[in-house]
Amino acid sequence: MMAVSSTLRLSLTLGAAFAPLSLGGPAVGARDSVPPEFVAKPYYPAPHGGWVESWKDAYTKAQALVSQMTLAEKTNVTSGIGIFMGPCVGNTGSAERVGFPRLCLQDSALGVASADLVTAFPAGITTGATFDKALIYARAVAIGKEFRGKGANVYLGPSVGPLGRKPLGGRNWEGFGSDPVLQGKAGALTIKGVQEQGIIATIKHLIGNEQEMYRMYNPFMPGYSANIDDRTLHEIYLWPFAEAVHQGVGAVMTAYNAVNGSACSQHSNLINGILKDELGFQGFVMSDWLSHIGGVDSALAGLDMNMPGDTNIPLFGYSNWHYELSRAVLNGSVPLDRLNDMVTRIAAAWYKFGQDKDHPRPNFSSNTRNKDGPLYPAAIFSPSGQVNWFVNVQDDHYLVARQVAQDAITLLKNDGSALPLSTSQKIKVFGTAAAVNPDGPNACLNRACNKGTLGMGWGSGVADYPYIDDPITAIRKRVPNVQFSNNDGYPWFHPQPSADEVAIVFITSDAGENSFTVEGNNGDRNSAKLAAWHNGDELVRKAAEQYSTVIVVAQTVGPLILEKWVDLPSVKAVLFQHLPGQEAGESLANVLFGSASPAGHLPYSITKRLEDFPDSIANLRGFAFGQVQDTYSEGLYIDYRYLNKQKIKPRFAFGHGLSYTTFNYTSATISPVTQLSLLPPSRAPKGSTPTYSTAIPPASEAIWPANFNRIWRYLYSWLNEKEANEAYAIGSTGSKKYAYPAGYSETQTPGPASGGDEGGNPALWDVAYEVSVTVKNTGSTYPGKASVQAYLQYPEGIPYDTPIVQLRDFEKTSELAPGGEETVTLKFTRRDLSVWDVTLQNWVVPGFDGKRYTIWLGEASDKLLTACYTDTGKCESGLTPPV
Ligand SMILES: *[C@@H]1O[C@H](CO)[C@@H](O)[C@H](O)[C@H]1NC(C)=O
Ligand SMILES: *[C@@H]1O[C@H](CO)[C@@H](O)[C@H](O)[C@H]1NC(C)=O
Ligand SMILES: *[C@@H]1O[C@H](CO)[C@@H](O)[C@H](O)[C@H]1NC(C)=O
Ligand SMILES: *[C@@H]1O[C@H](CO)[C@@H](O)[C@H](O)[C@H]1NC(C)=O
Ligand SMILES: *[C@@H]1O[C@H](CO)[C@@H](O)[C@H](O)[C@H]1NC(C)=O
């Protein structure tokens, strides 16, 4: 969502700034600049939810509830009550009469936002860098418990879009890394952990939000159009969303931008066609904050919830839905059938995660830390009351937060075994990132500054730190008289270090959401590009001139260009902490001083130059008249897929990460599990879905109750009597017809062949092969955890162009003592072995007839140690890998 300040002042300024524009209505710019081959095909009607077996109970309960609701109650629960109107960043209207409460939707993906007494977990990118499924899940369990403890209903995470296509993109760090499988598996485990705590997770942002600048529709210009071909959409960007739906995710958030020229919040092919019919999504779809631009059209296109309720210019008490949706149902434009489906989807998700039983109501306020405050801050003259109950939800979650931060630390280089350090070593520490921001860890609104330890990026994807355990504190616990230059420049007067002294140099790179500009970066890293901030590269170079051993520690949202110093002889070791959250100190010191071996791996490639990528990836799209076009001309070839194809050696490849020990693979085996055919077996027909009367309800169901005490700017679902009667007259007589979009229909369809269950045709998830390998710690000194990454190479001679290798699964061993070993098993599904055929509109297995797929096992995308073959069932080592 859009980062919004928790202070009312900012919100009012925002409102005032847009005031003169509020009358014109939303302007949706012409789409004539979209390249002609990209089309947003119509797909109608919105498929009903409820036909999937695992949601049956929830839908049965939802139907019983929804059938008791009036029109105004139904439209109430599909919309937020307005920005800054309640405790959470999103608050729906309620239907209290029938027992359905207001729902609390809360940021962020890394912890409960704008609240005290919570844990600030490591960011998504850090979590991805662990390549550790058990830890990803454990973090999610803790996050889910904190959201529940604070009384939220909906967790606005995980983020898997942006996927990380552009290294400069502003919000990549909220997700898990620049690969669909890493995003998909980490996203699904996060959903599982969170939803098991009775919290509805939200997979976001659907789709193509790969840069921040020009993402939003506003009265002057439309959001940019991400132009994505069908195969690329399926095999790269949609892949993690399919995984999320397969996991049973309860909610989806659409993206701000357009796809193929049509805004995601009202893109019928994207929501009705791809998400709800092909992927069989059973939960509800919400708009990103203030991105909803078309009332009737978005309803028809499959949007189910309008967030935070306002039109895209907030705070005037106007909404595209609420009273307008009541009107649109009365006047016959939006079929009651569609509204019933929206509400049923929302109520079903609420039942599915047990929120009808003892779910706490919000006991915190996103708007203030005081005990008492306005109940509806945006109303200005609001009644007051208790808004904070100061519930501490932290428990021992710092432990899992620290473990993730520690296991994510990625050792890129370690010449001469410079690390680990001994605690008797003479050490000097340089760089402000070693210490917490002297103004306090939360001094900047939405973390929109880069000062002190960088534990997260900026924008809506943040939480408030309860504290930061900073690196300098943790280092001092081990080496009490360490000297620290809390400065990003090299000191003017600095004594000549002795030969045995070590310099640890901290550098950073920050990014975030477009709602703030930090040091010239508008969200994306448009100004700093991939250089360290605050002249960090220069600080490293200066230290490297004086010291014979320099250890560089980077806190960063994504890749950096390291070429200015990485090859200098005294730069012995480089560690990426990524964005460690509150547990930045002990996690790092444990690795620096050898209590733990580094175990993180790069969730993206680090190139030698940004220009090693093609223009479509390397550069942000600049201003254009009309709609900015972001065309995915590189197709499937992002990150290592592109570099491998072009034979460009990165500085450090995707998946790279060193340890203090070494590992070896033995006894690799591959076994077939399910016999494959070219196409998946045909899907079962959809199950039944709830049915209701479709007659337009009486106008009285939408008329204001007598003597209702309205709160100023609060959004309601009622109309006055005259308006309601007028609308009903149109609807009941059909005297005026809505100008429906081309291709509009109200007849439910059987759904595409590629669908059939949550995530698509259920056979896509059949395991086709399993590969096992025994990993041994072949070192003699340090224990360590090994990452086994499995990359798939498609058969030769197939009629599809495929990337040379693609990550398909990964496993992490437990900590292996020297000499210790463990066997891990990796799984390859039908989908993993398929390609999306744009003509057949289905997943096909091009090598189903006995052609050789090669599964490469390795420690990184460029360190492939063992190959297993699907045709012979054999595995071998000591080969020259294809990349
Ligand atoms: C975008 O356009 C391409 C090319 O026509 C098409 O294959 C694809 O399905 C479209 N995407 C969506 C989401 O409509
Ligand atoms: C809509 O929700 C608000 C907030 O909970 C509530 O005050 C109002 O009565 C609800 N409207 C209806 C029709 O139930
Ligand atoms: C806040 O949540 C706790 C449980 O986490 C619950 O016991 C309490 O009743 C909630 N407070 C309010 C005001 O609902
Ligand atoms: C019905 O109401 C909706 C919401 O105000 C409006 O967009 C639509 O044009 C109306 N339809 C007709 C046929 O009057
Ligand atoms: C690693 O394993 C291979 C067999 O997979 C074996 O040939 C080699 O000697 C082993 N290397 C070490 C260092 O143990």
3 state SS of 858: strand
Pocket test of ligand 1: the residue of 31, 225, 228 to mutate, having most ligand atoms within 8 Å of its CB, is 228
Which of 288, 488, 524, 639 is the catalytic position?
288
The answer to whether the CB of 102 is under 6 A from ligand 2 is yes
Query: Residue 2 — very low, low, confident or very high, per pLDDT cuts 50/70/90?
Result: low
On whether the CB atoms of residues 608 and 775 are closer than 8 A, the answer is: no
Q: How far apart are CA 530 and CA 510, in angstroms?
A: 10
- Quick one: which atom of ligand 5 is closest to the CA of 668? 5
Q: How far apart are CA 373 and CA 382, in angstroms?
A: 9
| Alpha carbon of 6 to ligand 3 centroid (Å) | 22
Query: Residue 9 — very low, low, confident or very high, per pLDDT cuts 50/70/90?
Result: very low
Q: Is the pLDDT of residue 19 over 70?
A: no
- Entry field: residues in the chain: 883
Query: Residue 774 — very low, low, confident or very high, per pLDDT cuts 50/70/90?
Result: very high
Identify the pLDDT of residue 32: 56
Say what the pTM is: 0.96
On whether the CB atoms of residues 146 and 509 are closer than 8 A, the answer is: no
Which bound ligand lies closest to the C-alpha atom of 663? 5
Query: Residue 494 — very low, low, confident or very high, per pLDDT cuts 50/70/90?
Result: confident
Q: How far is CA 680 from CA 759, 769, 850, in A?
A: 14, 16, 16
Identify the pLDDT of residue 33: 85
- Quick one: which atom of ligand 4 is closest to the CA of 731? 13
Query: Residue 320 — very low, low, confident or very high, per pLDDT cuts 50/70/90?
Result: very high
The answer to whether the CB of 93 is under 6 A from ligand 2 is yes
| Alpha carbon of 718 to ligand 4 centroid (Å) | 15
Pocket test of ligand 4: the residue of 292, 322, 327 to mutate, having most ligand atoms within 8 Å of its CB, is 327
Q: Is the pLDDT of residue 632 over 90?
A: yes
| Alpha carbon of 826 to ligand 5 centroid (Å) | 21
Tokens of 607: 């190139």
Task: Specify the residue with its C-alpha closest to ligand 1, atom 4.
Answer: 38
Pocket test of ligand 2: the residue of 69, 74, 77, 94 to mutate, having most ligand atoms within 8 Å of its CB, is 94
Q: How far is CA 486 from CA 306, 505, 584, 735, in A?
A: 46, 11, 16, 73
Identify the pLDDT of residue 6: 40
The proportion of the chain whose per-residue pLDDT surpasses 70, expressed as a percent, equals 96
| Mean pLDDT, the chain, integer | 95
| Alpha carbon of 141 to ligand 3 centroid (Å) | 19
Residues having CB within 6 Å of any atom of ligand 3: 149, 151, 360-361, 363, 389, 391
Tell me the helices (H) and strands (E) count for the chain, helix number first.
Answer: 19, 28
Identify the pLDDT of residue 23: 31
Query: Residue 874 — very low, low, confident or very high, per pLDDT cuts 50/70/90?
Result: very high
Identify the pLDDT of residue 1: 57
Q: How far apart are CA 705 and CA 204, in angstroms?
A: 37
On whether the CB atoms of residues 770 and 654 are closer than 8 A, the answer is: no
In degrees, rounded to 5, the angle at the alpha carbon of residue 393 between the alpha carbons of residues 392 and 399 is 115
Tokens of 373: 């405050």
Q: Is the pLDDT of residue 10 over 80?
A: no
Query: Residue 17 — very low, low, confident or very high, per pLDDT cuts 50/70/90?
Result: very low
Which bound ligand lies closest to the C-alpha atom of 701? 2
Identify the pLDDT of residue 13: 33
H or E stretch covering 323: helix 323-330
Q: How far apart are CA 404 and CA 783, in angstroms?
A: 17
> Mean pLDDT, to the nearest integer, of 442-453?
98
Which residue, among 284, 275, 330, 327, has the nearest Cα to 304 in the 3D structure?
Answer: 284
On whether the CB atoms of residues 249 and 280 are closer than 8 A, the answer is: no
| Alpha carbon of 668 to ligand 5 centroid (Å) | 12
Q: How far apart are CA 563 and CA 612, in angstroms?
A: 13
Pocket test of ligand 3: the residue of 104, 391, 394 to mutate, having most ligand atoms within 8 Å of its CB, is 391
Q: Is the pLDDT of residue 783 over 70?
A: yes
Starting at the earlier edge strand, list the strands of the sheet with 854-860. 806-812, 787-793, 854-860, 863-869, 875-877
Residues having CB within 6 Å of any atom of ligand 4: 295-296, 324, 327-328, 331, 333, 730, 736, 738
Which residue, among 453, 500, 487, has the nearest Cα to 472 in the 3D structure?
Answer: 453
The answer to whether the CB of 76 is under 6 A from ligand 2 is yes
Residues having CB within 6 Å of any atom of ligand 5: 664-666, 778, 877
Identify the pLDDT of residue 708: 95
Q: Is the pLDDT of residue 781 over 70?
A: yes
Identify the pLDDT of residue 27: 41
Per-residue DSSP letters for 672-712? E-S---SSPPPPPPP--------SPPPGGGGBPPTT--PPT
Identify the pLDDT of residue 52: 97
The count of C-alpha atoms lying within 13 angstroms of the C-alpha of 324, restricted to the half-sphere facing its C-beta, is 18
Identify the pLDDT of residue 625: 87
Which bound ligand lies closest to the C-alpha atom of 395? 3
In degrees, rounded to 5, the angle at the alpha carbon of residue 855 between the alpha carbons of residues 852 and 861 is 135
Q: How far apart are CA 38 and CA 818, in angstroms?
A: 56
Task: Specify the residue with its C-alpha closest to ligand 5, atom 12.
Answer: 664
> Mean pLDDT, to the nearest integer, of 10-15?
35
Which bound ligand lies closest to the C-alpha atom of 867? 5
Model confidence pLDDT, tens digit, residues 69-78:
999 999 999 9
| Alpha carbon of 262 to ligand 1 centroid (Å) | 11
H or E stretch covering 147: helix 133-149
Query: Residue 3 — very low, low, confident or very high, per pLDDT cuts 50/70/90?
Result: low
Q: Is the pLDDT of residue 4 over 60?
A: no
3 state SS of 298: helix
Which residue, among 848, 853, 845, has the nearest Cα to 872 in the 3D structure?
Answer: 853
Q: How far apart are CA 583 and CA 123, in angstroms?
A: 11
Q: How far apart are CA 580 and CA 417, in angstroms?
A: 24
Task: Specify the residue with its C-alpha closest to ligand 3, atom 7.
Answer: 360
- Quick one: which atom of ligand 3 is closest to the CA of 149? 5
- Quick one: which atom of ligand 1 is closest to the CA of 229? 3
> Mean pLDDT, to the nearest integer, of 271-290?
98
| Alpha carbon of 665 to ligand 5 centroid (Å) | 7
> Mean pLDDT, to the nearest integer, of 725-741?
97
Task: Specify the residue with its C-alpha closest to ligand 3, atom 5.
Answer: 149
On whether the CB atoms of residues 187 and 243 are closer than 8 A, the answer is: yes
Model confidence pLDDT, tens digit, residues 495-525:
899 999 999 999 999 999 999 999 999 999 9
297 classed as catalytic: no
Q: How far apart are CA 843 and CA 231, in angstroms?
A: 10
Pocket test of ligand 4: the residue of 71, 333, 725 to mutate, having most ligand atoms within 8 Å of its CB, is 333
Which bound ligand lies closest to the C-alpha atom of 208? 1
| Alpha carbon of 68 to ligand 4 centroid (Å) | 25
The proportion of the chain whose per-residue pLDDT surpasses 90, expressed as a percent, equals 95
Task: Specify the residue with its C-alpha closest to ligand 4, atom 1.
Answer: 328
Q: How far apart are CA 43 and CA 673, in angstroms?
A: 37
Q: Where are the beta strands (DSSP E) in 97-207?
A: 104-106, 154-155, 200-206
- Quick one: which atom of ligand 3 is closest to the CA of 386? 13
3 state SS of 477: helix
Q: Is the pLDDT of residue 556 over 60?
A: yes
Sequence-ordered list of residues with C-beta below 8 angstroms from that of 424, at least 6 positions apart, any chain: none
Q: How far is CA 509 from CA 134, 451, 650, in A?
A: 28, 11, 19
Q: How far apart are CA 75 and CA 69, in angstroms?
A: 10
Position 413, amino acid: K
More confident residue, 704 or 380: 704
Determine which of 299-303, 314-318, 764-768, 814-818 has the lowest per-residue pLDDT on average.
314-318
Which bound ligand lies closest to the C-alpha atom of 261? 1
In degrees, rounded to 5, the angle at the alpha carbon of residue 46 between the alpha carbons of residues 331 and 338 is 35
H or E stretch covering 194: helix 180-195
Q: Is the pLDDT of residue 750 over 60?
A: yes
